[in-house]
Structure 1
Amino acid sequence: MSDNNRRAEHLSAVQARILDYIIRFKDERGYAPSMREIAENVELKAVSSVSHQLSQLEKAGFIDLKDGLARGIQVLIEPEGLARADSDTPVQFGDAAHVPLVGSIAAGVPITAEQNISEYVPVPRALTGKGDLFMLEIKGDSMIDASIVEGDLIVCRQQKTAENGDMVAAMIDGEATCKIFKQRDGHTWLLPRNSNYEPIPADNCEILGKVVTVLRKV
């Protein structure tokens, strides 16, 4: 199981309560609670227990402990529907994938390498299907006739191959782009969906993944 799947699937009930409390506290006050405040509000007797649970949350990728201090907690993932159970059984967050939103892409490393990821976005699995996923933000208007505009988020399933007509994310000339994949007469092309743009010769492109859904900010 990948690290991303481990992050998304479940936490213990104690960890879920701690994460929920941290998120609500920061929303209300603008900074993170102390370990003692966490202990008092999630009914843990010892501050050392809080420290252990925070370390587990950090290892799972939900938080970043700045200099090891609770006040410096940065929440990296905010799962929807945190359940507040009274036992230590795993708390499921529902059928959602926490998809890494990729910013700049470093050459020579996997697209979902940590240095490429700006945040994780929860997306219902009903929209994505199975597989290893990543997300890119659309720049420009080359896909506007496919109803994809600047600022949209495309969710892609990682794969190295594509079929004619697939909408793909691909690397070409050091940049990631979203286009329609086309092979013709022994050559590969990346086709825009805007008559103002020309097809891109792409024999040397790298297919990063197939687009499985598009999200729009409102």
Structure 2
Amino acid sequence: MVATVHAIKRSSSHDPCRRTPQPERAQPEGGAVSTPTEPADEVHSGGLTPRQHAILTYIRDAVRDRGFPPSVREIGEAVGLSSTSSVHNQLAQLQQAGYLRRDQSRPRAIEVLPPPGEAAAEAAHAEGAQAAELAGVRRIPLVGEIAAGAPIIADEHIEQQVTLPEDLVGEGTLFMLRVRGESMVDDGILPDDLVVVRQQPTVEQGEMCAALIDGEATVKRFRRGRDGRLWLDPSNEAFEPIPLDPQADNQILGRVVAVLRTV
């Protein structure tokens, strides 16, 4: 929501080099085939072999260039593994290490993930950014209606939550009301404006407040007459002051601290 707020007193693809297929050594039991013992299988930084790096690069490039992952056979051809069992073995190791996400029910559903360390760092950064963004702001409920004798911020009456800077609205229990009518236009408050109200039972002379009069919320200025009587004054001279009778179902809801207007 775009609003005016004022207070009262935020390529080119790379294919890995094709290797010449070499004889592969079968494991003694289980039928799985491991990659041959060769320099390419030495573990480098990140706990991956050069071949596993090549597999990740090939999958990532294929998804980038054509929009979907390669088949197991295509991966094997790209990195020099003639046996699909060897490819499956490499993919399983990469998945276990947290570099891949696979859906076993969909053969081509392979997603390359950020390295585990980088993923944790990115998550921590995102959490920190979110915390920084939320620091110093308030989530304020927009109340659709207010019933006499009922809690002002009742869940069933909240239309939405609006986030505003705390340095604008201040502390305390806050809620928002939508202005109806033109009784406060001379104070710059127009129909459909949103007023932020700090919940409190009393206000000072001349302060703008929200009050509940005959079951309806209204925004006016508070005034105590010389005779001690209490009044709610409009700023528009076309409207009459409203007497505030503490003995009736009338009450001060709180002081208006900010006004929002969409543009």
Q: TM-score, normalised by structure 1?
A: 0.59
Q: 241, 248, 251: which is aligned to 1:199? A: 241
* 2:262 partner SS: coil
Residue 121 of structure 1 is matched in structure 2 by 162
Mind listing any 5+ residue stretches in structure 2 that lack a counterpart? 1-98, 102-120
The runs of at least 4 consecutive aligned structure 1 residues that moved more than 2 Å come to: 87-91
How far apart are residue 115 of structure 1 and its match? 1.2
How has the CA–CA distance of structure 1 residues 85 and 99 changed in structure 2, closer, same or farther, with 3 Å as cutoff?
farther
8 Å contact 1:102–1:118 — kept in the other structure?
Answer: yes
Q: Which has the larger radius of gyration?
A: 2
* 1:216 partner SS: strand
Residue 177 of structure 1 is matched in structure 2 by 218
Instruction: Give the letter aligned to residue 198 of structure 1.
Output: E
How has the CA–CA distance of structure 1 residues 182 and 116 changed in structure 2, closer, same or farther, with 3 Å as cutoff?
same
Mind listing any 5+ residue stretches in structure 1 that lack a counterpart? 1-42, 46-83
The 2-side partners of 1:85 and 1:201 are apart by 59
The 2-side partners of 1:134 and 1:141 are apart by 21
Q: CA RMSD in A?
A: 2.4
8 Å contact 1:157–1:212 — kept in the other structure?
Answer: yes
1:110 aligns with 2:110: no
How far apart are residue 126 of structure 1 and its match? 1.7
How has the CA–CA distance of structure 1 residues 98 and 106 changed in structure 2, closer, same or farther, with 3 Å as cutoff?
same
* 2:191 partner SS: coil
Which structure dedicates a bigger proportion of its chain to strand? 1
* 1:145 partner SS: helix
1:136 aligns with 2:162: no
Q: TM-score, normalised by structure 2?
A: 0.49
Instruction: Give the letter aligned to residue 148 of structure 2.
Output: A
Q: 166, 177, 201: which is aligned to 1:160? A: 201
8 Å contact 2:148–2:212 — kept in the other structure?
Answer: no
Percent of aligned pairs sharing the same letter: 48
Relative contact order (alpha carbons < 8 A, sep ≥ 6): 1 or 2 greater? Answer: 2
Number of residue pairs the alignment of both structures matches = 139
